[in-house]
A and B are shown apart, each in its own frame.
Chain A
Amino acid sequence: AQTVTQSQPEMSVQEAETVTLSCTYDTSESDYYLFWYKQPPSRQMILVIRQEAYKQQNATENRFSVNFQKAAKSFSLKISDSQLGDAAMYFCACLGGGAQKLVFGQGTRLTINP
């Protein structure tokens, strides 16, 4: 079984600045994946970035990068050069154990201040 914890219910950042969203997880699986999903006000969940647990290198996708600390079971998301379109709920999620079953954190609402 997995658990995912996001300790920041809300975050705000000035446009063009950098913000980091925190996530910790717990799993007994040796083979698992971690994700950050974005849910804008239109509600459709969009995959932001994905990290395979067996890879030591941190995943990056353009302005989005993660800091994956496997021993600490930490998986934070860094958004560089924040844009107004980045405003959304961000969910950290874990998938493992051979089941196509995402376990989500409670989410962090990110506000971008112009």
Chain B
Amino acid sequence: KAGVTQTPRYLIKTRGQQVTLSCSPISGHRSVSWYQQTPGQGLQFLFEYFSETQRNKGNFPGRFSGRQFSNSRSEMNVSTLELGDSALYLCASSLVSGNTGELFFGEGSRLTVL
């Protein structure tokens, strides 16, 4: 069974640009969550999608958005990039949403903003 796949693995952008990251969950998983990991702030929850609907959202500005497609693949978008958006963006999938526990993580997309 293939794991969680994130693309691209690495990317470099400049301030003011926008970026789209993609996440393909484990086959059969319907919940996809996104996390931002930085040395200063650690791991922070961005949002969760389940059955194409955003279920939960973290405390990030509106520049951070996402969506989920009917095949459960998810994308997140960051517009008007700032230097502070440089981070490892992790995607996690699970079978269902809610208090069910276990999430499976991808290897992440490393975004550098210059």
Per-position 1/0 for B9-47, Cβ under 8 A of A: 000000000000000000000010101000000110100
Check A75 for interface membership: any CB of B closer than 8 A.
no
Contact indicator B103/A33 (Cβ below 8 Å): no
Interface residues of B, CB < 8 Å — how many?
A: 27
Q: A99-B55, A101-B58, A104-B42 are in contact. Are A43 and B99 (CB under 8 A)?
A: no
Task: Determine the interface band of chain A, counting residues with CB < 8 A from chain B.
Answer: 20 to 34
Say yes or no: A100-B102 contact (C-beta < 8 A), given A42-B107, A44-B107, A91-B43: no
CB distance from B99 to the nearest CB of A (A): 6
Alpha-carbon separation in the docked complex, A44 to B92 (Å): 10
Known contacts A99-B48, A100-B56, A32 near B42 by CB under 8 Å: no
Instruction: Pick 26 A–B contacts, CB within 8 A, sort by A.
Output: A31-B99, A32-B99, A35-B102, A43-B88, A43-B107, A43-B108, A44-B107, A45-B105, A46-B105, A47-B102, A47-B103, A52-B101, A91-B43, A98-B99, A100-B55, A100-B56, A100-B94, A100-B97, A100-B103, A101-B56, A102-B33, A102-B35, A102-B92, A102-B103, A104-B43, A106-B42
Q: Hey, which bits of chain B sit against chain A, CB under 8 A?
A: 31, 33, 35, 42-43, 45, 48, 50, 55-56, 58, 88, 90, 92, 94, 97-108
Q: Which 4 A-B pairs have the closest CB atoms?
A: A45-B105, A104-B43, A33-B101, A44-B107
Residues of A within 8 A of B (CB): 31-33, 35, 37, 42-47, 50, 52, 91, 95-107
